Amino acid sequence: MSADTHNEFCDDPIINTDPSQNENIVSFDTSDNVILATGGFGLSITFPEVAFLDEKLSIISTFDTTNTIRISFDVRLFNEKINLYKNADNTTILDTSFNSTTGRFPAVNIQVEFNEFKNNITPDRILSLGSFTNIYKDFSFQVKKYFHFPLDSKLFTTSSISELNQNTFDTTEFIRTLDDTITDVSGNEVSAFSGFFSLSGINPMLTDLVANDTFSNRSLNNYTVEDGFIAGDKILVVPGITFDMGVVLANPYSLNVQELSLLAEQCYHTNETPSKFLQKQYRAPILLELNNLS
């Protein structure tokens, strides 16, 4: 299991169920003797076109942040991205690229790489894991559900349960996962994660923040655009973090389920790789709450 994307997928993927609803699925809590049949029925429903009220979303908007991964993040990183440097408590400007004549910073867009993001995170700075809180439990649930196994059945080996951290995904496990590595084509150990996030329109964004005091953190101290980002600003990274969790079924025919071979032939690609792969993707936006942390 790792955070990278695999090339082999199941033709009939695991149902994407909201982890918070798992405990309410009563039908799966019952175990009965059954005669297994193959096949089934399907339905395709097409809905009318869905249009937004506005043609585009504003840079600064109101979003539902209920299930986001909330992290207290150092404001200094964002200011240094626009070449704005302050003293130790982030109150006095020491050096800046701000042009007082134009009232603008030279930077139009800024970008934060994964390693910059990871290096600014510690367990105590993670305020909430949002929808990721139950992803290990949900993954175990979905694999059992896929094979129609009772919820209390033992499907994974001891080592697999250990890899799933006893189905517990907490702040320490989140940090550990960010350090996951994979082996590249040259045999080198590299980060399992890749990517970056970016902020566009820095000057109009800061102008709006000052004019509207969006986060109620500027007017009291008469902050201007020249002060850049300050503690209390909130940045929502969308789509955020994506985990591709998978389980390799080296010999699915050994599972003691009637006619499982027919199910496996229908659900998995057949290629040069003898093992089969079952995967589910988890994704959650990241809410960065900027604070004076350095």
The tokens for 33 are 């003797």
Domain coordinates in residue numbering, the chain: 65-291
How far is 194 from 279, CA to CA, in rounded Å? Answer: 19
Amino acid at 251: N
Predicted confidence at residue 64, as pLDDT, reads 84
Predicted confidence at residue 265, as pLDDT, reads 35
Predicted confidence at residue 76, as pLDDT, reads 97
The tokens for 206 are 């800061």
8 Å CB contact between 264 and 276: yes
Neighbours of 81 (CB within 10 A): 19
8 Å CB contact between 145 and 28: yes
Amino acid at 23: E
Predicted confidence at residue 39, as pLDDT, reads 54
How far is 209 from 60, CA to CA, in rounded Å? Answer: 8
Q: Provide the CA 156 distance to its chain's centre, in angstroms.
A: 25
Report the greatest alpha carbon distance in the chain: 79
Predicted confidence at residue 71, as pLDDT, reads 94
Neighbours of 289 (CB within 10 A): 17
> What does each of the 294 residues of the chain score in pLDDT, given as a tens digit?
334 433 333 334 333 444 444 444 344 455 565 545 555 555 656 666 666 665 555 677 788 888 899 999 999 999 999 999 999 989 899 999 999 999 999 999 999 999 999 999 999 999 999 999 988 888 888 877 777 777 777 777 666 666 666 678 899 989 988 888 888 788 888 888 888 888 989 999 999 999 999 999 999 999 999 999 999 999 999 889 888 877 776 655 555 443 333 333 334 344 444 456 677 888 898 999 999 999
Q: What does the H/E/C string look like for the chain?
A: CCCCCCCCCECCCCCCCCHHHHHHCHHHHCCCCCCCCCCCCCCCCCCCCCCCCCCCCCCCCCCCCCCCEEEEEEHHHHHHHCCEEECCCCCCEEEECCECCCCECCCCEEEEEHHHHHCCCCHHHEEECHHHCCHHHHHHHHHHHHCCCCCCCCCCCHHHHHHCHHHCCCHHHHHHHHCCEEECCCCCEEECCCCEEEEECHHHHHHHHHHHCCCCCCHHHCCCHHHCCCCCCEEEEEEEEEEEEEEEECCHHHCCCCCHHHHHHHHECCCCCCCEEEEEEEEEEEEEEEECCC
Q: How much is the pTM?
A: 0.75
Predicted confidence at residue 264, as pLDDT, reads 37
